[in-house]
Structure 1
Amino acid sequence: MFNLSHPKLVTLAETEGYAEVADFLEDYALDSIVPAICMAPNCDHTADLEPDQRAGFCEACGRPTMKSGLVIAGLI
């Protein structure tokens, strides 16, 4: 099931300069590196990671909480 309204996904899309989550996903759906965001509360650090990343290391808070925008949306 797709989840295009998740708050972290909306934040990630806006950080990348997109007004609409759908436009963000369309541009990155087939890339080998995509934007990811930290899922920890009070941390919105972003980085470019693998499309299927679910537990990447966050350089800001030090936790394994980085998740790809494609994973958050439910595309992967």
Structure 2
Amino acid sequence: MFNLAHPKLVTLVESEGYAEVADFLEDHAMGSVVPAICMAPDCDHTADLEPDQRAGFCEACGRASMKSGLVIAGMI
């Protein structure tokens, strides 16, 4: 199920310079690395990670909480 309105996804999309989630997903759907964001409530660190990343290491807060934008949106 797609979740295009998730607050962390919207934050990630805006930080990447996109106005629309759909444009972000279209540009990154086939990438070998994609933008990811920390899912911790008090951290919005972003980095480029694997498209299927669900628990990547966040360099800002030190938690295994980085998630790919494609995973957040429900594409993967």
**TM class, shorter-chain normalised?**
over 0.9
Give the letter aligned to residue 75 of structure 1. Answer: M
- Per the normalisation by structure 1, the TM-score is 0.99
In 1, the alpha carbon distance for the partners of 2:53 and 2:10 equals 18
Aligned residue pair count = 76
Find out whether 1:32 has 2:32 as its counterpart: yes
| Structure 1 segments of 4+ aligned residues over 4 angstroms from their partners | none
Secondary structure, in 3 states, of the residue corresponding to 2:57? coil
| Partner in structure 1 of residue 13 of structure 2 | 13
Secondary structure, in 3 states, of the residue corresponding to 2:13? helix
In 1, the alpha carbon distance for the partners of 2:42 and 2:57 equals 16
- Per the normalisation by structure 2, the TM-score is 0.99
Secondary structure, in 3 states, of the residue corresponding to 2:11? helix
* More strand by percentage: 2
| Partner in structure 1 of residue 67 of structure 2 | 67
Root mean square deviation of aligned Cα: 0.2
Structure 2, gaps ≥5 residues long = none
In 1, the alpha carbon distance for the partners of 2:45 and 2:21 equals 18
Q: CA deviation at 1:42?
A: 1.1
Secondary structure, in 3 states, of the residue corresponding to 2:56? coil
- Provide the identity percentage: 86
Q: CA deviation at 1:2?
A: 0.2
